[in-house]
Every structure is written in C-alpha cells, then in structure tokens.
Chain A
C-alpha cells in the first residue's frame, strides 16, 4: 500500500518525535489496529468466517442432501426439532423436517452458500462498476462526467426493489434466467440497481482529492492519468467504499430473502433462507421452527455484517456518517 499521509513541513518534528515513541504506522495499519480492538466487529467477523466455512464445507457437514427427500417413498414430514420434545420429534432429523420431508438442518447449512454468494458476488460487481464509473467521472470531469452522471440519474430514478421484482419475475422463465438456478440473474439484477450509490460516493471522493498536492505532484513528475487513478487516487478514495461494501452485503442478502419469500427469487429446489421462510410460512400454524430457524440465521449473519461495517467505519474514518 502506498503511504498516503505525507507529513507536512510543520508536522515533521512531531512525526519524528512519534517515531521515537512508537513505530510509525500507516493509516491502514492504524485502521487495522483499531478494528481488531473492536470486539463487536471481531465477533461479527468470526460469525461471517464461520458461515463462510459452513458454506464451503456444506457437503461434508450436512447429514442429508439439501434437495432430495430422505426416504422419499415414506417421508417424515413436519418433524419437530429435538429440543421441542413433542411426539413429532424424529431423532434422525435434529432440526426437524419441512412440509415435504427434507431435513431442515441440511437445508440451513446449504442455504449459507447462496446467502454468502449473494452477499459477495453482486457486491463485488457493485464495487467494480461503481468504483470505475465514479473515479473516471470524478477525474475526467467535463462531458464524460456529465454523461456518466446522467446515466446514474436514470438508474437512481428506478424504484430498485420493484425493478428487481420485474427483472426476476419476467426473466426467470427465460434461458437467461434459468441459467445457474437463477443466481447469475439475481447477481446482475442486484448490481444494476445498486452500483449508483457507490459511483456517486467515489466521484465525490475523487473530486475532492484530485486538487490535493500529492496528485498535483504525481502529475508534475509525468504520471499518466491511469497511473494517477490507480496508484494515487484509488488507495486514498477507497476507505468509504469499503465501509459502503460492508453495508451493501447484508442489504443484498436481505433483497434475496425478500424475493425468495415472494417466490420469485432463486429457483427451487436450491435452498436459501428466504426460500425456507417461504416454505415454513405455509406450516407456521403447525410449528414456528421452519420459519424461526432460517430467520435466525439471516438475522445473525446480517447482524454480524452490520457490526463489522460499524467497526470498519470507526476504524477507517471515525467521523464518517451512519
């Protein structure tokens, strides 16, 4: 990482004194230090890593197949979780079974996969599109900026969830939609409606940074615009984007859950927590657990991301809003 704080003349002495007291840290190391000391953020990170491992190793942990019904000829439907102690508990299925006899524990574990993927892939897309558009617009200015900003205006005008509803409901039945169980369609959908915020954020950052001395200096020594963008502006503008990402991930997961709950999300039988809540809602009067368990998973993961996001924000820029 490039060092971004160039000590000003007046501060040089102070910096030297600092060196005497403790080792000089870059802003990034500093942020890392603050983040690690934030307990809530670390707990959040721990849960996220755990969920990630669960997603990756699902086939090894889960007792059954997530889509097939164990013992399909004579399925055990609506078994209760073992802690309820009712007569519907079936020791073969610790967390019970759903209304068609699939093992709930297995489906919870596999659902982490979709949620994690939905959290990361579209957000990576958002990051990629938003950061490039925002930085180019901010740095180039002029008509490039005008054009790109008009495009963001259009996208900004879309009621985003409703637009996703249209995309999912209409394209799900086509070949594009069916590809990969509907996941790629959802990635693109979520990215399309959400990159604008990121772009505007980055544009603002670049606009304020590009007049700074270190950029001017880089320009003076003949750095190309690309080099300035990548080597100088990017590392300095990126902090708020990282915080934004940490909040975009849970919001993408929530979007997936909502769409799946309405029955227009991921194509069955792929399990996701939203799909499971949808399935469980039908039998809710019989047992609340098929709704409660996936809802609990969603809440825990979302909470973890929020904690991590808060921690990141405090660590990177304590004065940042939200």
Chain B
C-alpha cells in the first residue's frame, strides 16, 4: 500500500487505481466497434500506456496476490482456461476444449491445443503446466495463493510442511506424493482432486497454475522474473522492467489465441504512479491513455465536455458490508442483525457518499459473478420493518445496544462514512452507535482473528475467481479461510458444501442461491454496496473495458489503439 496509510475504503480507491482493467465488448457502444471507419482502424504499431499504481512486489505467477501483479501474469501467460467475458464462466484458452471430468467428479483432464509455443519459440508441454502447479504447492515458494491449490490431492500436506524442521526425506516424499496426483501425457494433463469440485475449472482459469519454463527459472534463479528469463506463453512478452518506473510489454508473435487472434497492440506500457491526483494529471497531459476515476474527480469531469465523453462505466469486483460479530451481544440475536441491515438508505449512500461509483447491495455476490441474485432484496432499506425487528429482540440484546460501537480504520474519509451510518442508525432505529477509529494496521489485525473481532466493523470482499464458492464458502462457511463475522449456521454450511461438490450445474446454482438468500435473511452481515469502475479512456483507445475480477485477464488480444491525432 502507499504511505498515505490506506484504510479499507481508501484502500479500495487505491485498489481501483491499481486495478488496471481491460477490454470487453459489453460496455462499448455498439456503434463504435461496428463502424469500421478508417479512424477506427487499429494502428499496427499502436502503444497503450496505462497506470499500475504501485510496483508489483513480485510477478512470479506462483507467488503473487495483488491485482497489478496478476495483470502482468495474465498478459504474459495463458492458463488452461480463461473466464468468458460474457458471464465469467471458464472457457478454453491453452486447453483445446472443456476438461474431461471423471464420473465421480474428482479427476479433471485438459488437452492442450496443438502448436502452443513460449515467447522464445520453444513448445509448451503439459510438463510446463505441471511445473507451475509444483511451484504453487512447494512450501519453499511460499506463495500467497498456495491455498487455491489445496483442492489437488497432496498439495495441502506438502505446502504446510515446515521446511526448516522437516527432514529432506519427508519433504521429498510429500512432494512426490503430490506430483503423483498430476498426470501428464504428451498433450494432456490430469489433476486428481481431494473431492468433487466443479469450481476447479475456474481455478484453472486464473493465474496460479500457468505454465512456467523450468529451464528459464533455473537460469534466472532469484531474478528469473526479469525480462531475460520471464518467458511465458501469453499474448505479450515483458521486454523491459525499469523498477519503480515502468514495465513494457510487446506483442508475442509466437502466441496465437484460441480464437486465432494475436494481440492487436504492438506495445503496452504500464507506468507506476502512486498518487491518484498525479495519474489524473498525467492522463490529461496525454501521458496515460486510461485513468480510473475517483469520486473526487467527478466535478472536474462533469465540467469538461471532452472528459465527459471519455468516461466509460464498468463493473466492480468487491462487495462492502458492515460486519457484525455474530458471537457477541447484541448481534447474537438475528433480530438485531436484521434491524441493522434494513436500517440505512443504500441509494442515498451511493449517491452522496461514494459519488455514484457503485451500486446498492442487498446480497453478497456482486453483479458479474455467477450467483448474483437481483431478486434477493430482503435487506432493502425499510425503517418500519427495521424498528419492528428491533422490537422483537431479546432483553439481553436490547441491553447491549446501549454501548454499541463501530470499529473502523482511521481516516478522515472513513470517519465521514461512519458518521453517515451513525446518523442513519440514530434516525431509523433510535440507536446511538459510538465511533471507534483504530490505526489501519491494527484494524487489519483485529478483523483477522475471531478472538479480537470487533462488535461492528467495515469490511469488503473481492473476487479471486468466477465462482460462488469463492464467495459463500470462503467467507461465511465454518471452513472460511479467515475469520470474517463469526457466523455459523448448519443449514448454510450444508448448502454450500453440497454446492461445492455438486456436479449438476443447475442444482449447484440452486444450492448456492438458497445459501446466499439464507445469508441475507440471517443478516450475517449488512451488505452496503458493490463497487464499480469508472474509467476515462482516450478516444484512440478501442475495445478496452472492464471485467469483474478487478485485474486484467486474458483476451488481451482485443484492445487496440487507432493512430493518435
């Protein structure tokens, strides 16, 4: 994060400026792409300049976890699958087709397309994919997203070993046990899973298991992510990395996409500007082609006809909510939770507080992610119902309302936001909630552990991959990877665990939908809003827009620029 210590909300803003997002056809006006006037023709030597915010900590696909890092990997590598731009469901990328799934749902076999090549011209083999997975699960890699690989048999055990204490023999045995569960032939790769997991296909579409060249990594050692040895199979290759200043990507001529396309851009430069205001200035100075708008910039944009024309709206990737500690009075009582969830005017929030860049949320999964449920409006603003629910609360819970406080990461902006809530709760529920600001780092610590979880707090969740499992199971089930709200519900657990394993897509969606609605009705948390992205795009940028994962993903072949005036 940046030294201007970021709070979750401002972190979101930072996030957005970092989130270098890319093309999709959905938000382009139909006319722009259809009319092939000469001015719209792609410049074969076109260069696009975008901002990635902070420098990536690492661009090692098996170590990284931040959006701008993932954006690099997704340009330089191609995974087996890729999320469809239409609905986010995985479609084939490096794989020839959808995977063959064994009847019990625990074995996934992907066949590679013919003639795949790395940017250095060498062929891409299933063994390169396997090596990527080996690095993901290897405890010495210590990657942030290793846990996404735990669904493959043997990964969790090997990854959780203590490399300093365990004997080499034990480590080797665990490694071998894991490797035995990934079987390669000359053009196919099979993964054996710990249990049926339809969402595995979505994991195959993200960056964690992209193929890496062992020879290049061995040659580059600690510095293999420098351009000379950072060799991928994606539409672009990294040609220059000036640390803390910029990265330059050029079209990889050895790449041919599943649809037969190559990248239309010749060059893609990503600069590293950490101050949003400076990035906006750079955009206006034509040093940047794309700029993600912050609420503060809206007035300038509205006052400028050119800028207004250059605005493009796109989906976000996160849901923000008021978390209740479900294990602490008064939020042990579902009536109180429901009352709070229905007690604030989300439309006003979006209009006044976040400048309209976002959408009111009454359920957990945001639009653009499978499982978004527009009909789930249980939590909608309803002061009468809220008061009624509060009236039904148990005496203990009512007593605990007297000294309620909401904890947040201290910043002026957060304070405004919480003051707005304070006002809403006072007006609509008649409850006085005190504000409890804490330092940003402390806040992160507090909300991580169940023992220290505050009574009420602000939090968000952003998508890793396009699947309900990444939302419902990962955040609210009893198997959640990190403490979120202390919500436990047998009924909810049963539904999501059934969904995780369910092979029939319809039944699976239904299980998740039931779980999601249950979550809203139990008011495990009060959902506030889904974020959104508003971009400024220079007129010469075409086919560039945004997807729901926040980071760039495949389909880099679509974006292009026309000749700049």
Direct contact of A and B (CB under 8 A): yes
A69 touches B416 (CB 8 A): yes
Question: Beta-carbon contacts of A288-312 to B below 8 Å, as 1s and 0s?
Answer: 0000000000000000000000000
Chain A interface: which of B184-192, B296-304, B359-367, B380-388?
B296-304
**Minimum C-beta distance from B348 to chain A (A):** 9
**Minimum C-beta distance from B534 to chain A (A):** 15
Contacts of A101 in B (CB 8 A): 416
| CB-CB nearest in chain B for A285 | B300
Contacts of A99 in B (CB 8 A): 296
Does B410 count as interface, using CB distance less than 8 angstroms?
yes
**Minimum C-beta distance from B121 to chain A (A):** 46
**A168 to B423 Cα, complex, angstroms:** 33
Contacts of B296 in A (CB 8 A): 78, 99, 282-283, 286
**A99 to B299 Cα, complex, angstroms:** 11
Chain A interface: which of B141-149, B276-284, B395-403?
B276-284
Question: Beta-carbon contacts of B38-58 to A below 8 Å, as 1s and 0s?
Answer: 000000000000000000000
Contacts of B415 in A (CB 8 A): 67, 268-269
B297 touches A285 (CB 8 A): yes
A169 touches B420 (CB 8 A): no
Does B27 count as interface, using CB distance less than 8 angstroms?
no
**Minimum C-beta distance from A169 to chain B (A):** 7
B412, B420, B440, most chain A CB atoms within 10 A: B412
B4 touches A262 (CB 8 A): yes
**Minimum C-beta distance from A166 to chain B (A):** 12
- Known A-B contacts A78-B299, A99-B296, A100-B416; the reply to A268 vs B410 at CB < 8 A is yes
Does A284 count as interface, using CB distance less than 8 angstroms?
yes
* Interface residues in A67-84 (C-beta closer than 8 Å to B): 67-69, 72-75, 78
**A15 to B284 Cα, complex, angstroms:** 72
Interface residues on B, range: 20 to 34
| CB-CB nearest in chain B for A88 | B299
Does B26 count as interface, using CB distance less than 8 angstroms?
no
Contacts of A72 in B (CB 8 A): 416, 419-420, 423
Contacts of B297 in A (CB 8 A): 285-286
**A173 to B440 Cα, complex, angstroms:** 8
Contacts of B299 in A (CB 8 A): 78, 88, 286
A264 touches B420 (CB 8 A): no
Does A281 count as interface, using CB distance less than 8 angstroms?
yes
- Known A-B contacts A78-B299, A268-B411, A269-B412; the reply to A284 vs B277 at CB < 8 A is yes
Contacts of B163 in A (CB 8 A): none
Which of A68, A69, A173, A178 is the one whose CB lies under 8 Å from B441? A173
A178 touches B284 (CB 8 A): no
**A284 to B2 Cα, complex, angstroms:** 19
**Minimum C-beta distance from A289 to chain B (A):** 13
| CB-CB nearest in chain A for B440 | A173
Does B100 count as interface, using CB distance less than 8 angstroms?
no
Contacts of A263 in B (CB 8 A): 2-5
Does B413 count as interface, using CB distance less than 8 angstroms?
yes
**A68 to B441 Cα, complex, angstroms:** 24
| CB-CB nearest in chain B for A101 | B416
**A73 to B4 Cα, complex, angstroms:** 27
Question: Beta-carbon contacts of A260-285 to B below 8 Å, as 1s and 0s?
Answer: 00111001110000000011011111
**Minimum C-beta distance from B369 to chain A (A):** 30
- Known A-B contacts A100-B413, A268-B411, A268-B412; the reply to A282 vs B294 at CB < 8 A is yes
A74 touches B294 (CB 8 A): no
**A72 to B419 Cα, complex, angstroms:** 7
B419 touches A68 (CB 8 A): yes
Contacts of B284 in A (CB 8 A): 285
**A38 to B440 Cα, complex, angstroms:** 49
* Interface residues in A37-96 (C-beta closer than 8 Å to B): 67-69, 72-75, 78, 88
* Interface residues in B489-541 (C-beta closer than 8 Å to A): none
- How many chain A residues touch B (CB < 8 A): the figure is 31
Does A172 count as interface, using CB distance less than 8 angstroms?
yes
B412 touches A178 (CB 8 A): no
Contacts of B5 in A (CB 8 A): 263-264
If over half of A's interface residues share one DSSP class (helix, strand or loop), that class is named, otherwise mixed; here it is loop
| CB-CB nearest in chain A for B414 | A268
**A177 to B299 Cα, complex, angstroms:** 37
Does B120 count as interface, using CB distance less than 8 angstroms?
no
Does B439 count as interface, using CB distance less than 8 angstroms?
yes
Does B104 count as interface, using CB distance less than 8 angstroms?
no
Does B275 count as interface, using CB distance less than 8 angstroms?
yes
**Minimum C-beta distance from B434 to chain A (A):** 14
Which of B280, B420, B441 is the one whose CB lies under 8 Å from A73? B420
B2, B4, B297, most chain A CB atoms within 10 A: B4
* Interface residues in B418-472 (C-beta closer than 8 Å to A): 419-420, 423, 439-442
* Interface residues in A96-147 (C-beta closer than 8 Å to B): 99-101
Does B222 count as interface, using CB distance less than 8 angstroms?
no
Does B375 count as interface, using CB distance less than 8 angstroms?
no
Does B352 count as interface, using CB distance less than 8 angstroms?
yes
**Minimum C-beta distance from A176 to chain B (A):** 12
**Minimum C-beta distance from B281 to chain A (A):** 7
**Minimum C-beta distance from B27 to chain A (A):** 24
Which of B281, B420, B439 is the one whose CB lies under 8 Å from A173? B439
Contacts of B442 in A (CB 8 A): 173
B294 touches A73 (CB 8 A): no
Question: Beta-carbon contacts of B4-19 to A below 8 Å, as 1s and 0s?
Answer: 1100000000000000
- Known A-B contacts A73-B420, A285-B280; the reply to A264 vs B3 at CB < 8 A is yes
A279 touches B4 (CB 8 A): no
| CB-CB nearest in chain A for B441 | A173
**Minimum C-beta distance from B29 to chain A (A):** 26
B410 touches A267 (CB 8 A): yes
B275 touches A279 (CB 8 A): no
Contacts of A268 in B (CB 8 A): 410-412, 415
**A173 to B443 Cα, complex, angstroms:** 10
Contacts of B277 in A (CB 8 A): 281-285
**A237 to B271 Cα, complex, angstroms:** 55
**A278 to B275 Cα, complex, angstroms:** 11
Contacts of B420 in A (CB 8 A): 72-73
Contacts of A262 in B (CB 8 A): 3-4
**A67 to B412 Cα, complex, angstroms:** 9
**A269 to B300 Cα, complex, angstroms:** 26
**A196 to B105 Cα, complex, angstroms:** 72
Interface residues of A (CB under 8 A from B): 67-69, 72-75, 78, 88, 99-101, 169, 172-173, 177-178, 262-264, 267-269, 278-279, 281-286
Given contact pairs A67-B415, A267-B410, enumerate 5 new A-B contacts (beta carbons under 8 Å): A75-B416, A263-B2, A263-B3, A281-B275, A286-B300
CB-defined A-B contacts under 8 Å, sample of 23:
A67-B415, A69-B419, A72-B416, A72-B423, A78-B296, A101-B416, A173-B440, A173-B442, A178-B439, A263-B2, A264-B3, A267-B410, A268-B411, A268-B415, A269-B412, A279-B412, A281-B275, A282-B294, A282-B296, A284-B277, A285-B277, A285-B281, A286-B296
Q: Which 6 A-B pairs have the closest CB atoms?
A: A263-B4, A173-B439, A100-B416, A268-B412, A283-B296, A286-B300
